[in-house]
Amino acid sequence: MTNETEKAIVYTLPECDVSDRALADLKAEGIEVEERNVMRDKKWFEEALKISIFVPIVIRGEKVEIGWKGAYG
């Protein structure tokens, strides 16, 4: 089964191995990813802080996942 229509918003930091792994894994699963690097846009930074101080923050529909596979950036 493919996730062609599934989309995820991923809040990331630059040079963050955990964020990079999350992005790569999601893309490998066929999930459309919108990356929001919190250092590039103050609005994204503020949105992310309302959820967590850790990245990545992966939002798929109503589901929010903080970190990736047990790791945090």
**CATH number, position 16:** 3.40.30.10
Domain count, the chain: 1
Q: Given a cut of 90, is residue 3 above it in pLDDT? A: no
In a domain, 53, yes or no: yes
In a domain, 1, yes or no: no
Residues spanned by the domain of 43: 7-66
HEC secondary structure over 25-71? HHHHCCCEEEEEECCCCHHHHHHHHCCCCCCCEEEECCEEEECECCE
What's the confidence (pLDDT) of residue 5? 66
In a domain, 54, yes or no: yes
In a domain, 41, yes or no: yes
Q: Given a cut of 80, is residue 2 above it in pLDDT? A: no
In a domain, 36, yes or no: yes
In a domain, 39, yes or no: yes
What's the confidence (pLDDT) of residue 9? 98
Question: What are 12-34's pLDDT values in tens digits?
Answer: 999 999 999 999 999 999 999 99
In a domain, 73, yes or no: no
